[in-house]
Structure 1
Amino acid sequence: MPAHPAPTIRAYSPADESGWIRCRALSFLGSQYFDDVLPRRPEPAEPSVALVAADPDGTIVGILDIGVEDALATIDTVAVHPDHQGRRIATTLLETAVPLLAGTGATELDAWTREDPAANAWYRGVGFVEQTRYLHVFVGDGDDTSGFTTPEGLGRPVLTFLHAAVEREAEMRARFRRVHVCRRYVQPLGG
């Protein structure tokens, strides 16, 4: 397999939107976020850092969006096109982004992810520490919906996304087919 040239890391521009959507969708398809597909890139909160990794032909092969609220910076999206994973693209995006957070007032960077081994290993490998966890519970067709109520005029839930305490993991997994542990990773900034 021929080596890929290193992508260029640069600020996101509106012209990148279709490449951003494609990169994110293809990356997420192979993860537990497979159904978190967006038809448009969300407008980031300000201040924010939005970077892309572009191959020489302009193809977006990596994306990183970080929003800042008060002292907390949050990775809203980090994704690498599946054909380009393992090339340190996410790490290079993060290494480029962290200095750009200086002056925003952020003192901590956090991120949330599910149980994908590669994602969890990456966060730990770039210096994040797990701080907390809870459950993402999806109630779908074929799951036990007894006890669920809906407003007048609506039928039983077809697809519902809920949060639950991690202490209820065994109970949730016994009742519902799709349950994920969601972890919050944190690392200090600027120091």
Structure 2
Amino acid sequence: MSFTIRSYEPTDETSWLRCRALSFLSTCYYDDVWTQRPASPAVQLVARCGDTVVGILDVEIEDDLATIDTVAVHPDNQGEGIAAALLTHARRELPSTVTTVDAWTREDEPALGSYHAQGFVESEHYLHVYKTCEDSDDGWTSPDRLSAPLAAFCHARLEDESDLRARFSRVYVCRRFSRSVPSE
């Protein structure tokens, strides 16, 4: 399959949202669904095959750090090198002041393998914990006149992983991957 990479355009929004939702569906981020594309990333790229967005990459930039905010490849096109091509293209668009690219992700083996294959190194870790309506309300308090939360998303220390996995059905290790940006 051939694809082209270019900057995101507002007319890409529906296809961008569809690509993101479908690519996240089989991952730990399956419920991170957006109905509107955020406008803030500094680098906004799409990979297109015809009229369809098959890959997306958004990068935020702060001082010397570029953080991958969203990277996704349509499930029908995964394993075709689209994510790596998007990252290569994005590096050319980074300001010369950027010395490091990083990304945060969870436990999905394809994502972990992709970052390792592209020279990223894993470093910091913490937990993402979801309280669902099936989980116990023990330990939760709410303001007066409100029920205990039906759902909650929290961050936690890695040291508490075994206890939290025993209490909650959705606990993920969130990992930071980073790599230096080669100077040209």
Measured against the shorter chain, the TM-score band is: over 0.9
Number of positions where the alignment pairs a residue of Structure 1 with one of Structure 2: 183
State the percentage of identical aligned residues: 51
Which of 52, 67, 81 aligns to 1:74? It is 67
Cα deviation digits, residues 97-131 of structure 1 (max 9, x gap): 1111033x221111000000000000111011001
* 1:100 lines up with 2:93 in the alignment: yes
Corresponding residue SS for 1:42: coil
1:30 has 2:22 as partner: no
User: Shift in Å at residue 190 of structure 1?
Assistant: 3.1
Counterpart in the other structure of 2:114: 122
TM-score norm. by structure 2 comes to 0.97
* Partner of residue 21, structure 1: 17
- Aligned-pair Cα RMSD in Å: 0.9
Residue 53 (structure 1) aligned to one of 47, 60, 74: 47
CA–CA distance in structure 1, aligned partners of residues 93 and 182 of structure 2: 11
1: distance between equivalents of 2:82 and 2:55? 6
- Tell me the amino acid that sits aligned with residue 72 of structure 1: L
Task: Supply the AA of the counterpart residue of 1:52.
Answer: V
Deviations 1:143-174 (A, max 9, x none): 12211111122101100000111111111101
Aligned to 2:55: 62
Runs of 4+ in 1 over 6 A off after TM superposition: none
AA of the residue aligned to 2:47: A
Q: How many angstroms apart in 2 are the aligned matches of 1:44 and 1:83?
A: 28
Residue 102 of structure 1 contacts residue 190 of structure 1 at CA under 8 Å; is this kept in 2? no
1:43 to 39, 45, 62: 39
Quote how far apart the aligned CAs of 1:70 are.
1.3
Whether the 8 Å contact between 1:24 and 1:80 is mirrored in structure 2 is yes
* 2:166 is the alignment partner of 1:174: yes
